[in-house]
Amino acid sequence: MQLRQHNISKLPERIFDALVIGGGINGASAAAALSGKGAKVALIDRGDFAGSTSMHSSNLIWGGIKYMESGDFKLVRKLCKSRNHLIKSYPSTVQEIRFLTTINKGFRHHPLYPWAGTWLYWLMGSAFTRMPNFLRPAGIKAREPIIDTRNALGGFEYSDAYLYDNDARFVFSFVRGALDFGGVAANYVESLGSRREGDVWVTSVKDRIDGCAFEIRSRVLINAAGPWVDQHNRLSGQRTDHHHVFSKGIHLIVPRLTENKRVLAFFADDGRLFFVIPMGPRTCIGTTDTRVDKPEVDVTEEDIRFVLDNINKRLELRNPLGEGDIIATRCGVRPLAVKPNGGNDRDFLNLSRKHAIDTDDENGHLSIFGGKLTDCLNVGEEVVEEVARLGIEIPKPDFRWYGEPDASARETFMHQARLMELDAMTSAEAMEPLSVRLWRRYGTQALELLEDIRQDPRQAEVLIEGTEYLRGELKLARRREMVTKLEDFLRRRSKISLVVSRASLRDSPGLKEACDILFGEKAEQRLAEYWSVEAGEIEADSA
């Protein structure tokens, strides 16, 4: 909490070059890019960073192969290049993964037709990934025995990428980057609207933790509020070319269905792509694609039944999946950028997920619509270009503001880890060596963890049963990750609440100690608050 309070104290003290409203992937990448290139930037979010759309994705970094069927080849080429760039820039976090797609009888195309499409997709991606290949039903079964191939015509394998950890953690890495570059960021700070006074934007805000109100001044205002961009523009008197329509998507997290590390892709009964995605010790299945009128959504019984019915039809499991197998759910909206009359029901399912930036040159205001995790580096660079065009000085225009530390830094960490035999401390349940995981999550900051473990070997102990998180990681999170509520850590800085059942968490003695480390004297309050919110959500879901 000290980091957050320190940053909040800075917000009313100065005039920033830009204030970014919204800490999802668009806002986080914009703030990191601007800060890295030398602009004075503030970032606020009314909830936690990545607290909405950006924590409900499929964790996929992909070139948008499905957009090829609608002929949006320019977007596919752009996204493939972005995917390749992310794989090269974040080799520990963004990793190539094989997709195994099964085509059943009655599908609108023979399997050879989409297979040919995967070759074009591969070429449009500069042949950066492994080559695709065609599979007959026996070949599908040999690679993945749990797939029911009795109704299959054939299938194919191709490559895209995915986030090894989770989407919200990836977003926070950009927030942390903005802080490291000298930016100011705070979660749970709500914008109440902005007004233009001369050549400065004045944004009225409220600290949602203690209720205090104050104002933030900036020369440029960047609305990156995700699904709420239109709402905030109304508060600030902005009119834009684009607006949002919403698609609800849900995923179900269930026990791991296969040991194989690949994505299984099917076409659901209504023709939409449907995935079975590895998530460490669990499997993530979904998604739905339902048009909704507002960004506030919940998982419904109909959503759950759709996902379970479709997966049980396509897999040969010892016991069909039921509601009792669901460990957690993910539910959010995709905000889709459209122009007037561009989001009608006829073409809704084919609407592009590409982003759009509307700029009010006269008043120095940017609105970011749509977007994907895959395209985040482009968003950051484009925002910098627009802000510079509005007259804000960018002192370091060529600075590389993204990516993992260089190979020499990694080798320094790995050398230190070998000297202290860190990997021998890896828990039996872990999915990978401890050194690999700590480097991926913390980069050069993992050296702080090594020093903590040297001084006190207890810092290398797993704290919360059924997870991989160490006591020392909780201390690092308190210092550097602005964990304000317990859910921030359990759901976004980590994925604990996605892979550990609610009942197991409640019975965990380590959770109490985690709260003590994160919140000190407010530990009991934060723990009670977390279970109170959880109970409220359960009650709402069952209503």
Query: The domain spanning residue 266 has which CATH number?
Result: 3.30.9.10
Q: Do 201 and 186 share a domain, yes or no?
A: yes
Residue 63 lies in a domain: no
Residue 512: predicted pLDDT: 94
Taking the chain, what is the end-to-end CA distance rounded to the nearest angstrom?
35
Residue 164: predicted pLDDT: 92
Residue 541 lies in a domain: no
Q: Which two tokens stand for residue 42?
A: 């503030």
Residue 174: predicted pLDDT: 98
Residue 270: predicted pLDDT: 77
Q: Do 329 and 354 share a domain, yes or no?
A: no
pLDDT reading at 44 higher than 70? yes
User: For the chain, what's the residue count?
Assistant: 543
Which amino acid appears at position 275 of this protein? F
Q: Do 142 and 254 share a domain, yes or no?
A: yes
Q: What percent of the chain has pLDDT over 70?
A: 96
Residue 155 lies in a domain: yes
Residues 110-135 have pLDDT tens digits of: 889 899 999 999 999 999 999 999 99
Averaged pLDDT for residues 523-536? 86
Residue 224: predicted pLDDT: 98
Residue 222 lies in a domain: yes
Residue 440: predicted pLDDT: 95
Helices and strands: H and E segment counts in the chain: 18, 18
SS3 of 82-104: the string is HHHHHHHHCCCCEEEEEEEEEEE
Q: Which of 36, 167, 187 is nearest to 90 (CA)?
A: 167
Residue 354: predicted pLDDT: 84
The H or E element containing residue 356 is strand 356-360
* Partners of 266 in beta bridges: 274
The span from the CA of 401 to the CA of 88, in Å, is: 14
Q: Do 494 and 528 share a domain, yes or no?
A: yes
Q: pLDDT tier at 542 (50, 70, 90 boundaries)?
A: very low
Q: How far is CA 453 from CA 321, 425, 481, in A?
A: 42, 10, 19
Picking from 122-126, 189-193, 285-289, 439-443, which range would have the lowest pLDDT averaged per residue?
285-289
Residue 540: predicted pLDDT: 43
Number of structural domains (the chain) is 3
Q: Which of 18, 38, 20 is nearest to 29 (CA)?
A: 20
Expressed as residue numbers, the domain containing 488 is 407-534
Q: Do 135 and 186 share a domain, yes or no?
A: no
Q: What is the DSSP letter of 490?
A: I
Q: Which of 347, 327, 343 is nearest to 335 (CA)?
A: 343
Q: What is the crossing angle of helices 509-519 and 471-480, to 10°?
A: 30
Residues 264-290 have pLDDT tens digits of: 999 887 777 889 999 989 999 998 888
Q: Do 154 and 181 share a domain, yes or no?
A: no
Residue 395 lies in a domain: no
Q: Do 159 and 173 share a domain, yes or no?
A: no
Q: What is the crossing angle of helices 446-455 and 434-442, to 10°?
A: 130
Q: Can you tell me whether residue 61 is helix, strand or coil?
A: strand
The span from the CA of 470 to the CA of 454, in Å, is: 14
Among 281, 314, 340, the domain-final residue is: 340
Residue 400 lies in a domain: no
CA torsion, points 449, 451, 456, 461, in degrees to nearest 10? 30
Residue 484 lies in a domain: yes
Q: Do 252 and 230 share a domain, yes or no?
A: no
The span from the CA of 103 to the CA of 111, in Å, is: 6
The span from the CA of 379 to the CA of 188, in Å, is: 24
Q: Do 83 and 138 share a domain, yes or no?
A: yes
Q: Which domain CATH number covers 26?
A: 3.50.50.60
Contact 279, 336 (CB under 8 A): no
Q: Which of 57, 59, 23 is nearest to 41 (CA)?
A: 23
pLDDT reading at 72 higher than 90? no
Residue 431 lies in a domain: yes
Residues 353-400 have pLDDT tens digits of: 789 999 999 999 999 999 889 999 999 999 999 999 999 999 999 999
Q: Do 160 and 171 share a domain, yes or no?
A: no
Contact 369, 358 (CB under 8 A): yes
Q: Do 136 and 260 share a domain, yes or no?
A: yes
Q: Do 153 and 263 share a domain, yes or no?
A: yes
Place of tokens 């084919």: 350
Among 340, 366, 399, the domain-final residue is: 340
Averaged pLDDT for residues 326-338? 95
Contact 75, 352 (CB under 8 A): yes
Among 390, 418, 450, the domain-final residue is: 390
Q: Can you tell me whether residue 403 is helix, strand or coil?
A: coil
The span from the CA of 527 to the CA of 523, in Å, is: 6
Residue 538: predicted pLDDT: 47
The span from the CA of 289 to the CA of 274, in Å, is: 10
Residue 64: predicted pLDDT: 87
Q: How far is CA 448 from CA 177, 182, 200, in A?
A: 17, 20, 40
Q: What is the DSSP letter of 424?
A: G
Q: Which two tokens stand for residue 51?
A: 């607290």
The span from the CA of 332 to the CA of 251, in Å, is: 9
What's the Rg (C-alpha) of the chain? Answer: 23
Q: Residues near 278 by Cβ (< 8 Å), separated by ≥ 6?
A: 97, 162, 256, 258, 260, 261, 262, 263, 284
Contact 335, 351 (CB under 8 A): no
Q: Which of 381, 230, 223, 360 is nearest to 295 (CA)?
A: 230
Q: Can you tell me whether residue 179 is helix, strand or coil?
A: helix
Residue 543: predicted pLDDT: 39
Residue 346: predicted pLDDT: 42
Contact 289, 274 (CB under 8 A): no
Residues 455-470 have pLDDT tens digits of: 999 999 999 888 899 9
Distance of CA 262 to the CA centre of its chain: 19
Contact 396, 37 (CB under 8 A): yes
Cβ burial, residue 334 (10 Å; 0-12/13-18/19+) = buried
